[in-house]
Each structure stands twice: as C-alpha cells, then as structure tokens.
Amino acid sequence: MMGRGEKEVEFVCYCTQTRFLGWLGRVLKAVQPSNGWEGSSYESGLTFLAALAFTSILRAIMDQYSILGRIGEGAHGIVFKAKNIETGETVALKKVALRKLEDGIPNQALREIKALQEIEENQHVVKLKDVFPHGTGFVLVFEYMLSDLSEVIRNSEQPLTDAQVKGYMLMLLKGVAFCHTNSIMHRDLKPANLLISSTGQLKIADFGLARVFTSDGERLYSHQVATRWYRAPELLYGARKYDEGVDLWAVGCIFAELLNNSPLFPGENDIEQLCCVLQVLGTPNQKIWPEITELPDYSKISFKEKLPIPLEQVVPDGSPQAIQLLKQFLVYPSKQRVQAAQALLHPYFFTPPLPAHHSELPIPQRGGKKAPQHQRDFHVEQPLEDSVVDLELVAPYVIDV
C-alpha cells in the first residue's frame, strides 16, 4: 500500500515534464529523508510543499493566465476558460482542490495526469500542456476546446447526416484505438467527454477514471466506473475483472446515440439500466455469455426470459452497414466486441457517403439552446428507486430479487 507521502512524491514524478513540478520533484527528492515522507517527516514534507506553493514563483505561473469564464465541471475539478497573457493562447484550466493537505492528491487526478503524460501526443486525445500547484490544490492546463459531442447532439434540430455520423465515429475510434494500443482504458467514454475544437476535431478528454490494463485480465478494478447510460453490462453485474471492452460498449452506445439523436439505454439506476439493455439485446444466459455466472451480482436478481429486438427497429435511421457495425459493439461477452482498430476497417467507413471532414461538422457553442430530441418508442414504463427495489415496478422484467 502506498503511503500518503509516497503518493505526493509519485504525483511530482508524474509531472516531471512540466517546468515547475519538474524542478519541484527534484527538490523534494533531494530533501526526502531515508525513511520516506512518513510521520513527522511527512508533515515536514507537506509543510515544505505548502510553503513552496505560495512563493513568488508560483504566483508568477498563475499570473500568466487570465480567467475568461467557467466552462463546467469534470471529474474532481472545475474547468475554466483562460488566456495565457504572454502568448495570447486560449486554454482550459482544470482546478483540482484538496480539502486538506492530509487528504493527499486524489487518485482520479493522478490517473488523469499519468495517462495523459504516458501516451504520446495524438490529434484525437486532448493535450495536457502543463501542471502546477495552486493554493492547497493544483491546476491542469489543457488545450482549449470549443464544445463537446453532447452539445452537438443537444443542438441538432435534425438527425445528423450519415456522413457526419461517420466523421465523428472515425475520430472517436482513432482516439480509442490509440489509447488501447497504449494499454489505457478510459472507463468513462460519453458524449460530454468527447470535446470538439473550433475546427471540428473530436478529442477524448477527462481521463480521471483511466487505468492501465493488462492482457491477462487478472487485475482487479472498481465496477463503479463509467456514466450509467454507457456502462457495460459486466459492470452493471459488479465485475471487478474486466478489460478495454468496457470502452467498446460505450463506443457502441455513443454510435447509436448519434444515429438516433437520443440515448440508447437511458436507465435511471443500475437495475433499470439492465432492464433497458435486456429489452434490446434480450435476456443473457450462459449459452450466449459463458462468463455471466461468474459475475458477483448475477445471482442477486433473475430476469424473465426476453428475446432481443432487432437493432434495425431500435435504430431505424441506421444504414444496413451502420447496424452491422453497431451489432459488433453491443454484444454481451466483452471479448467478442470489435476492437477499435478493427472497426476502422469496416466497410461502413468506405461506402458512400464517405465520412465528413472535420471542417464540415457542426460546431455548437457551449450551453447553446437545447433542441428537442427524438426519443425512442420504448422505455422502462416507470423509473425505479435508487435506494429500494420496488418489486411491483420491477415485476415486468424480473423473476426473483
């Protein structure tokens, strides 16, 4: 188990590519006691770190930026639009606050920094430009992105064209393939985390839940990841051992949302989320999903037998090739989901209309007027309570709880 002080030093080591923390990391390493930053040494180390945080050097760094406004809130941080006074460049500042120094650097923030610094620069992954401490927290400096894919969907008065959907999916798959090639699973892919630049480029952002995955699949992870509507069924069943397939399921959900202009599985809690999935894909069993009986929550609830609905009915505006590709993402066994790199070679992307160039894609402003969404015909009839399983509400879908 990593000690609190070791965690602080690890945070500094993650940021050695930045001008200030690179220097700070060398200083902390030089003064670190032989027994590490523990006990009184730990308190001394934190005092030293806090003192540095208020030096004129730090003020000079923060003074380089002029805050232009608030963009929103990401995983464990508030995001602001800012301008580098010296260069005039517009950037996004993500301020991560610590309630007290003893809390240490949040794991999610460490993961985001580590993930973005371990992978090489890629045109479909948001660029981390700098990191520096600020007050009792720190600031991540990202390239500024004008909007995100959720705004594109929200502001679409008409469904996106086939060419536009292909354009977005092409960029998304390139970014996902790049992350997976570097053994990083994002674990929170959703339209709001797919940022859009002023030129229409789509880039994956918010790596606060990202983790390095191993090929043996034996590593344990938390199942409480991913936003519910894009959460893979194995996560809904409490899986602790999983792989990049959770990202590929999310890609399928995003794909369907682009085609339908509305979420595919809009559950209000985990049980309702499973009901939404089962309504479309049918009730899973050991024949189609051999690993299902090994999932922690499999025996806690039994669903009535239900046949799948043809995806052609669920996504009526999808072309035959779009549906064919979508089916390869939305399958129960994780290992059977098409890899991002393989999906890029699917005939869907090479059949007219060809993918739209990013300069031809819609770029709405953040917080624009919300257009009416085209909702699907089927939903779970009533929302289920998060805290209590109401047997009367769940009855149409389950046998036993």
Where residue 17 falls (left for φ over 0; alpha for ψ -120 to 50; beta otherwise) is alpha
pLDDT in tens, the chain (401 residues): 444 444 444 444 344 334 444 444 544 454 455 555 444 455 555 555 544 444 444 555 667 899 999 988 755 678 999 999 999 999 999 887 765 444 445 566 666 677 776 666 789 999 888 888 777 678 889 999 999 999 999 887 788 999 999 999 999 999 999 999 988 899 999 999 999 999 999 999 988 788 887 766 556 555 555 689 999 999 999 888 889 999 999 999 999 999 999 999 999 888 899 999 999 999 999 999 999 888 888 878 888 889 999 999 999 999 999 999 999 999 999 999 999 999 999 999 999 999 999 999 998 766 555 444 444 333 333 333 332 333 343 344 444 44
The CATH number, out of the four listed (3.40.640.10, 3.40.50.1000, 3.30.565.10, 3.30.200.20), of the domain defined by the range 4-45+64-143: 3.30.200.20
Tell me the backbone φ, ψ of residue 71, rounded to 5 degrees: -90, -50
What architecture (CATH level 2) is domain 147-400?
Orthogonal Bundle (1.10)
User: How many angstroms separate the CA atoms of 373 and 368, rounded?
Assistant: 14
Binding residues for ATP: 94
Strand 137-143, strand 90-96: pairing: antiparallel
User: How many angstroms separate the CA atoms of 204 and 224, rounded?
Assistant: 20
Binding residues: 94
25, two tokens: 């990391």
User: What is the residue extent of each domain of the chain?
Assistant: 4-45+64-143, 147-400
The answer to whether the CB of 245 falls within 8 A of the CB of 334 is yes
Tell me the backbone φ, ψ of residue 93, rounded to 5 degrees: -105, 120
User: How many angstroms separate the CA atoms of 354 and 127, rounded?
Assistant: 28
pLDDT in tens, 164-211: 999 999 999 999 999 999 888 999 999 999 999 999 999 999 887 888
List residues with catalytic annotation.
188
pLDDT in tens, 251-288: 999 999 999 999 999 998 888 999 999 999 999 999 99
pTM of the model: 0.76
